[in-house]
Amino acid sequence: MLSISTDIGQGTITAFAQMAADALGIPVDDVDVADPDTSRMPDSGPTVASRTIMVVGGTVTKAAQAMARILQSHAAETLGASNVECVNGVFRAGGRALAPFAAVARRYLIERGPLVCFEQYQHPPGIEWDDKAYRGDAYPCYAWAACAVEVEVDLDTYEVSLLDVLQVADAGKAVHPVLAEGQVEGGTVQALGYALLEEHFWSAKGQLLNTRMQNYLIPTALDVPVLRTLLLENPYPSGPYGAKGLGELPMDGPAPAVAAAVLHAIGRLVPELPLSPDRVMRALESAP
Amino acid sequence: MISVTSARSLQEAFDVLARRMPGLRVLAGGTDFMVAVNARIGLERIGHVLDIWRVPELRGVTWHDGTLRIGALTTYTDLMRSALIRERLPALALVSREVGAWAIQNRGTIGGNVCNASPAGDTLPLLLAAEARLVLGGPRGERAVAADQFFLAYRKTALGADELLLRIEVPVSGRLIHRKVGTRKAQSVSRVILAACRGPAGVRIGAGCVAPIPLRCRHAEAAAGSGGDVRAALERDIAPIDDVRATALYRSRVAGNVLVRLLEAL
Amino acid sequence: MKFTVNGEERAVEVAPLKRLLDVLRDDLGLTGTKEGCGEGECGACSVLVDGELVDSCLVPICQVEGTQVLTVEGIAPSGQLTPLQRAFVERGGAQCGICTPGMVVAAHCFLASGQPATNEAVREAIAGNLCRCTGYTKIVEAIQGGAGSAGDGRSPKGGALEEAARR
């Protein structure tokens, strides 16, 4: 599997292997997702914009499906069967196992040469985007999330503590539910950091003053509660297995949710992030 | 390359101190010193390093005649594990739990906290409120300095150039409680930290992050003793500033809030 | 300077203030331990020295002489994973992996202490290990799932403080 999408822990390698394996009917461990190498791989686009599973994975799926069709038809020919399909690494027909995938592939290689399937992403019908004029529908669909938080505000120290956090995310299809939850949970905590802890301080000359882990503060394990995550699947018809983008989605809700929860708690809107104790104090002391 | 003497005994450490080497720095657990070394801050001013981590005479917590004696090399973990501390001065064990996290607690020492003399030092308000004595020693002998006489100016202490902090002596009487208000729930420097002790001689209050040094709040103590306005009195004790962690107004307001609660609890 | 690393005696001749982190990575080729910040904030460099969790970026090598150091490489024999490590894999406790060696070492130390693996106790044990990817929930689940992975019964630290605080 060759693409330049880069796995930095979000699970691209696993998800691509799953999607290709599913389309080909082989075990997921039999798919080798090669390290990105722009010298020998097509330009799959950058690993950004929550597009990897939906756009690139969708293209992976189509390429794997194309490969599966070619191999199926080759297997049918050479094995003298019809309605051949590959299940769990074995080509079968009429309820009988015929030949392992590797054997069929090796025979194809000998008889026809290398099999390379190349796919390019196409916007679904009805979505028009002009890249030169930069106009049209840039996005074929949207993913949705809802975030609820429960907070406690200490009226002596003005500190906001997180008691409970729930995020519900609809990304069409969770190709790998554990990895998808991981994206939601990680993005949630990062956004909670934006809500309560993370801030840039600048000198009068525009130099960043807090450049160290000691003074740019991100949440520790004690700063956030157990996160509750629910994945909803509202399939997107033009997405692979119904999948939409997910990576950035969890970032949107938590900080506004925390601000709303603090408003609910103290009756004042703290209009600036992070909701530092200093800002909470000033909101409480300002006229209602 | 910076030269280091890793002393194996107090005498060996004293011998190094006696040489009065310019730019001598003392290294205990390294949780402050090594941060500066890693950031390459002030390396050119270091002449020689005296590593005291293995000096046995500086470790140990003992009880003697109503007084806790805490060796300078006692780590925060040691303080939490010490049955003596947990029984006689539990606030010190509790504040130790709020320093950094496990890995820092295993290496950071109370002596380092004292000699580093940051106005945000987490044990310092407690030692002040407990009227601790700091026992200093060197080739010229030993002397005790009251905690409230030890912190002279911003990060400047009464420790002589040929002296080490040997131990901290805390006469245990009365009840000592504290509250640390940090920047997050672990691995945090204090925004405000206060300790209050009610003993036979009255109320003692120690505060950090509200002045260039950790200090006793004597006006607030007097007000607490006479039933006066503790908040207004505290304002006369402290001189907080704005920095990346908090504003002066926040520190002033929260120090007052926290002090009122501590006194209610005592 | 002689000390034991992962059960093997090693000797190095380096500047006394060289960080244990750099000795492990550069002199001993044990690159499992990572540098995340160099200031003792993130815990990516966590190792055990004589059974105690430390940030190796803050430990000068002159203080390591004669000690037993355990790095992430020493937690399981080569090619195998402990139940704790398997739990990290299966439950999504690792994403980019930069915090993972330090997390595993901290978790290993926590489990060895024999404390009950409650949500609060686990989070306190890993409070010095920063993670940006996972949001911690799956890491905590992995540690709770890996309980029974390491246990030599060293005395717990936090339990009696609650009692002491009530005095």
The mean per-residue pLDDT over the stretch A193-221 comes to 96
Taking the Cβ of residue B40 and every Cβ of chain A, the question of whether any pair is shorter than 8 Å is answered with: no
Q: Which helix (H) or strand (E) holds A92?
A: strand A90-93
Measuring CA to CA, how many Å separate C30 from each of C74, C79, C107?
10, 15, 19
Which of the residues in chain B have pLDDT under 50? none
Give the pLDDT confidence of C93-116 residue by residue, as tens digits.
Answer: 999 999 999 999 999 999 999 999
Give the Cα separation of C91 and C95 in Å (integer): 11
The 10s digit of each residue's pLDDT in C126-159 is 999 999 999 999 999 999 996 654 433 333 444 4
Over residues C3-24, the pLDDT tens digits come to: 999 999 999 999 999 999 999 9
Average pLDDT, chain C: 90
Chain C CB contacts of B2 under 8 Å are: 15-17
* Contact (CB, 8 A) for B28 and B73: yes
- pLDDT given for residue A129 in this prediction: 87
Cβ–Cβ under 8 Å, residues C128 and B185: no
Sign of CA dihedral C91, C93, C96, C102: negative
CB atoms within 10 A of CB B56: 11
Whole-Å CA distances, A56 to A29, A237, B108: 20, 16, 50
Q: Which residues contact B64 (CB under 8 A, 6 or more apart)?
A: none
Residue that is written with structure tokens 């926290």 in the block = B258
Say if residue A40 is exposed, middle or buried (CB neighbours under 10 Å; 0-12, 13-18, 19+). exposed
- pLDDT band with cut points at 50, 70 and 90 for residue A131: confident
The pLDDT tens digits of the residues spanning A114-129 come to 999 999 998 898 888 8
| 3-state secondary structure (DSSP) of residue B138 | strand
| Spatial distance between the Cα atoms of C137 and B45, rounded to a whole number of angstroms | 45
CA–CA distances in Å: residue C81 to residues A96, C125, C129: 39, 21, 21
- As a whole number of angstroms, the distance between CA C47 and CA C64 comes to 12
CA distance B225 to B197: 12
Contacts of A11 in chain C (CB under 8 A): 95
CB C107 within 8 A of CB C127: no
pLDDT of residue A138: 83
B2, B101, B107 ranked by CB distance to C17: nearest: B2
Does residue C19 contact residue C59 with C-beta atoms inside 8 Å?
yes
Tokens of C140: 């905590």
Separation CA B100–CA B180 (nearest Å):
12
pLDDT of residue C160: 47
Comparing alpha-carbon positions, the chain C residue that sits nearest to B94 is C161
Do A206 and A215 form a contact (C-beta atoms < 8 A)? no
CA torsion angle for A13, A14, A17, A22 (degrees, to 10)? -150
pLDDT computed for residue C146 by the predictor: 67
**Any C CB within 8 A of A181 CB:** yes
Q: Which residue has the tokens 């529908």?
A: A137
CA distance to A263, B126, B206, B224, B248, per residue, from B230 (Å): 31, 19, 14, 6, 18
Answer yes or no: do A210 and B246 touch at CB < 8 A: no
Has residue C54 got a pLDDT over 60? yes
User: Which residue of chain C has the CA closest to B174?
Assistant: C167
pLDDT at residue C77 in the model: 77
Q: Return d(Cα A10, Cα A7) in angstroms, integer.
A: 6
All residues of chain B having their beta carbon less than 8 Å from the beta carbon of residue C38 are 38-39
CA C69 to chain centre: 11
Of B116, B96, B115, the residue nearest B106 (C-alpha): B96
Instruction: Identify whether the C-beta of residue B197 lies closer than 8 Å to the C-beta of residue B112.
Output: no
* Nearest Cα residue in chain B from C47: B103
Partner residue facing A220 (CB), from B35, B186, B247: B186
Model confidence pLDDT, tens digit, residues A225-234: 999 999 999 9
Does residue A27 contact residue A17 with C-beta atoms inside 8 Å?
no
Q: Best interface-test mutation with C: which of B34, B46, B109, B198 has the largest number of C CBs within 10 A?
A: B34
Bin C139: left if φ > 0, else alpha if -120 < ψ < 50, else beta: alpha
B258 and A222 within 8 Å at the Cβ level: the answer is no
pLDDT, position A145: 97
Q: How far apart are CA A263 and CA B79, in angstroms?
A: 41
Please judge whether C95 and A9 are an interchain contact, meaning their C-beta atoms are less than 8 angstroms apart.
yes
CA–CA distances in Å: residue C106 to residues A212, B144, C72: 22, 39, 10
- Residue C166: predicted pLDDT: 32
pTM beyond 0.90, yes or no: yes
At A287 the pLDDT is 75
Give the pLDDT of residue B5: 98
Distance from CA of B254 to the nearest CA of A (A): 6
Distance CA C61, CA C51 (A): 17
Residues of B with CB under 8 A from a CB of C: 1-4, 6, 27, 29-31, 34-35, 37-39, 49, 51, 53-54, 77, 80-81, 86-87, 90, 93-94, 97, 100-104, 106-107, 175, 185-187
Q: Between A171 and A276, where is the model more confident?
A: A276
Q: Do C41 and A213 touch (CB under 8 A)?
A: yes
Contact C96 A9 (CB under 8 A): yes
Task: Find the CB nearest C135 among A10, A178, A186.
Answer: A186
What's the number of CA atoms in the CB half-sphere (13 Å) around residue A115? 20
Do you know the residue count of chain C? 167
